[in-house]
Amino acid sequence: MKEFMITINGFPYITNSEETILDTCKKHNIFIPTFCHDERFTSDGSCRMCVVEVNGQKKLQTSCTLYPQEGMVINTLSEDVVIARREILKMIWSKHKGECEDCDSSGNCKLELYLQKYDIPKERAYKLKDSKKSTNENPYFTLESGKCILCNMCINICTTIEGGNAISLEGEQNNPYITFRFEDGKDYAQCLTCGECIEICPTGAIKSKNK
């Protein structure tokens, strides 16, 4: 595996073509916010919070899907990057019910943490958008749709790690929603002892019925 040098925020770092820019940044304690990334499955860049600026490219790139090339120059702190991340947070916030004071996950919620870090006020920049409510007719979980930010983490962990395929994304393109697939005839008994979807949810939208 060939190693080479790239530049991040003006400093040289050694990396290789098998790890993403996000991997390299995490290895060197360079902060990049993420909602949809986890080391246990392949990232798809769907939340776009991890965008970075690449010298010579007009558009910002998602660092979780970007593989380095020798001599690449990356900026994770540029004005355009910060503006983009703040705009993404505002859009996510517009789909979130935002009752942080009464939420069990307050203080341990990525969305709340990033709103504070990027100085996004709780007063909404965009009108709260209505989203279709998921059904809770299953023996294992409740899903608070108003907290769900559609990061797909629960789907990815269920499908990739546990192989359960118990969670899916349904609905129209402009109004998707997370749902549990217990209605298709399977009992998904492994869900009783798994709980990975609960642990990985960044906003605490999924809760166990057994607690």
Task: Find, among 67, 79, 192, 57, the residue nearest to 138 by Cα.
Answer: 192
Find out whether 17 and 5 touch, Cβ atoms under 8 Å.
no
In a domain, 133, yes or no: no
Please report the pLDDT score of residue 186 as a whole number. 60
Find out whether 116 and 106 touch, Cβ atoms under 8 Å.
no
In a domain, 162, yes or no: yes
CA distance 193 to 211: 12
Q: What is the CATH number of the domain that holds 14?
A: 3.10.20.740
The predicted model scores a pTM of 0.85
In a domain, 169, yes or no: yes
In a domain, 88, yes or no: no
Please report the pLDDT score of residue 131 as a whole number. 58
Please report the pLDDT score of residue 162 as a whole number. 59
Please report the pLDDT score of residue 181 as a whole number. 74
Please report the pLDDT score of residue 159 as a whole number. 86
Q: Which domain holds residue 145?
A: 141-208
State which residues of the chain have pLDDT below 50: none
4 Cβ contact partners less than 8 Å away, ≥ 6 residues apart: 14, 15, 16, 68, 70, 71
Find out whether 191 and 210 touch, Cβ atoms under 8 Å.
no
In a domain, 61, yes or no: yes
Please report the pLDDT score of residue 182 as a whole number. 67
In a domain, 201, yes or no: yes
Q: What is the CATH number of the domain that holds 145?
A: 3.30.70.20
Number of folded domains that form the chain: 2
Residue that finishes a domain, picked among 44, 61, 77: 77
